[in-house]
Structure 1
Amino acid sequence: MPELTVAGKQWTVAAGSNLLDALNQSGVPVPYSCRAGSCHACLVQCVDGDVRDSRPDALSPAQRDQGWRLACQCQVVEDVQIHTFDPQRDGQAAQVAAVDWLGPDVLRLRVTPERALRYQAGQHLVLWAGDVARPYSLASLPEEDRFLEFHLDCREPGRFIDAARKMKGGDPIRLGELRGGALHYDPDWHAKPLWLLAAGTGLAPLFGILREALRQHHQGSIRLIHVAHDAAGHYLAKPLAALAAKHENLCVELLTAAEAPPALAQLRLVSRQTQALLCGHPDRVEAFAKRLYLAGLPRNQLLADVFLPRG
């Protein structure tokens, strides 16, 4: 049977064992969120030997050459020595700038990195609070904001959420890998209708992308639809209303979960050139996508990121 070595500790595992499970079950804490190769919270480094990787495309060639792997996507097939991601050594230092509530269930976390972070609207970042890590989408813009902003859904308990609730300005925090998902704003869309459909805190990256589109003076119509569990869940209602009042080409629609199905059934494309961006829970994103396909939206004009539940 293959042998795992981590920080001087050695043990054997069954051939074909999932690397993430083998580490966590043996007392080597490796954080994870999605188990789908999307969040990158379970990043580890193979320093001797290798593993069978089902998602080699999930990391850059440079990262792979350095031995980095996503533990959730790997099987142990030979002896391998692992270096787990150490936020103190491998991460970037940052400081909590502010913590406040945007609604009953949404905590806004603003963070100031020690070194300026180059990012684009729509990307997400792994945050470390001690030895607890979670990936969150950026709601801020590098050109306009002096901080990194994240919107945390606190309806369900979790170790990172519990830590975030206790944070205050000046507290240290570490930043892990910056990751670009499917969501972004392309200047080539300048004259096209742009639809942004968000569920819950899936609004965070789309809020950044909306502001980026407006910053670049997007000329086509922009339609933003936010679906929340109830009216109190529309945590950005006021800033969205302010943007809509300032920009004639922006239409904002706020729907509750009960209102969403009949409203989405009425969606009609004004142009087959429409570009759609979706974000939220997988079930909600699937419902958005199905409705848009039925309305005639070409599949290559739909981009989506999902907030995967912890597996």
Structure 2
Amino acid sequence: MPELRVGERQWTVAPGSNLLDALNQNGVSVPYSCRAGSCHACLVKCVEGLPSDSRPDALSNEQRQQGWRLACQCQVVDDLQIETFDPLRDGLAAQVAASDWLSPSVLRLRLTSERPLRYQAGQHLVLWAGQVARPYSLASLPEEDRFLEFHLDCRQPGEFSDAARCLKIGDPIRLGELRGGALHYDPDWYTRPLWLLAAGTGLGPLFGILREALRQDHQGAIRVIHLAHDADEHYLAKPLQAMAASRPNLNIELWTAAELPAALAQLRLVSRQTLALVCGAPDSVDAFARRLYLAGLPRNQLLADVFLPRG
């Protein structure tokens, strides 16, 4: 039976046990979100021994050489000594610059870090409030903003969102790993039709990508669709409409859940050169993607970032 050791604690686990479960079920708290190897909230460092890893491609070669692994994707097969991610030691210090509500359920956090963070629109970052961590997509743009902006969906209770509600200007927060994500803007797209389809706070990263496209003077038609539960949750309606007022090639559409079936049925492609970026909860991303494929969009012209529920 392999032995698992963390600090002064040591115990025996069944061969093949999931590393994340083996840690959390024995009192070693390791945060997690997706359990799919995407969010990287469950990073741990192997000090001695190595687990069996089902997603070796999820981390860089440099990270793996340093011993980092995603606990949710690992199985304990031999004796293993682990160090958990310590946000004070391994993270980047930041503080809250602003906290305000954009809608009844969307909290906007703006953070400033102790040193500049190099990132691109569409990436996401693991945020630590004390010992609670969760990944969030960046809604800011490094070339234009002096802060890191995040849009938090607070409709449902959650450890991080509950902690975020209490944050005040000047409060400390730690930044974990920066992730690439599936969404980005490519300057080579500048003449092609660009569709940005977002559900809920999936609008956050697409807002950053839209700003990047406009910053690079995108010449093709840009169509932005935001799906919300109701009209009150179109939390960026005013800034989006203001941008469209000065950009003839930018069109903004605000859909509600009740309007979704009829709106999807009317969705038509003007050009097979269209590129579609989709972001939000799984059901919404699937609904958008299915309709786009039926409309004739080639599969390799759709990029999707799915906000997986914690589980």
Name the structure 2 match of 1:181.
Answer: 181
Name the structure 2 match of 1:276.
Answer: 276
Name the structure 1 match of 2:226.
Answer: 226
**Matches of residues 1-311 of structure 1 in structure 2 within 5 Å?**
1-311=1-311
Distance apart, 1:260 and its partner CA? 1.1
Q: Deviations over 1:234-263 (max 9, x none)?
A: 000000000110111000000001101110
Structure 1 gaps, min length 5: none
Identical residues among aligned pairs (%):
81
RMSD over aligned CA atoms reads 0.5
Distance apart, 1:144 and its partner CA? 0.4
SS in 2 for 1:22: helix
What amino acid is the match of 2:268?
R
What amino acid is the match of 1:44?
V
- Count residues in correspondence: 311
Structure 1 segments of 4+ aligned residues over 2 angstroms from their partners? none
SS in 2 for 1:232: helix
Q: Deviations over 1:49-97 (max 9, x none)?
A: 0001111111111111111100001111110100100000000000100
Cα separation, 2, equivalents of 1:194 and 1:112: 31
Distance apart, 1:124 and its partner CA? 0.2
Cα separation, 1, equivalents of 2:117 and 2:261: 39
What amino acid is the match of 2:266?
Q
SS in 1 for 2:271: coil
SS in 2 for 1:268: coil
What amino acid is the match of 2:212?
E
Cα separation, 2, equivalents of 1:102 and 1:211: 18
SS in 1 for 2:136: strand
What amino acid is the match of 1:207?
F
SS in 1 for 2:37: coil
Distance apart, 1:286 and its partner CA? 0.7
Cα separation, 2, equivalents of 1:262 and 1:42: 40
What amino acid is the match of 1:237?
A
SS in 1 for 2:258: coil
Cα separation, 1, equivalents of 2:288 and 2:129: 33
What amino acid is the match of 2:55?
R
Q: Deviations over 1:208-237 (max 9, x none)?
A: 000000000000000000000111110000
TM-score normalized with structure 1 length: 0.99
What amino acid is the match of 2:154?
C
Distance apart, 1:265 and its partner CA? 1.3
TM-score normalized with structure 2 length: 0.99
Cα separation, 1, equivalents of 2:249 and 2:33: 37
SS in 1 for 2:227: strand
Cα separation, 2, equivalents of 1:229 and 1:38: 26
Cα separation, 2, equivalents of 1:64 and 1:44: 11
Cα separation, 2, equivalents of 1:57 and 1:232: 41
Cα separation, 2, equivalents of 1:283 and 1:56: 28
Structure 2 gaps, min length 5: none
Cα separation, 1, equivalents of 2:204 and 2:56: 28
Q: Deviations over 1:103-128 (max 9, x none)?
A: 00000000000000000000000000
Cα separation, 1, equivalents of 2:246 and 2:45: 48
Cα separation, 2, equivalents of 1:2 and 1:289: 44
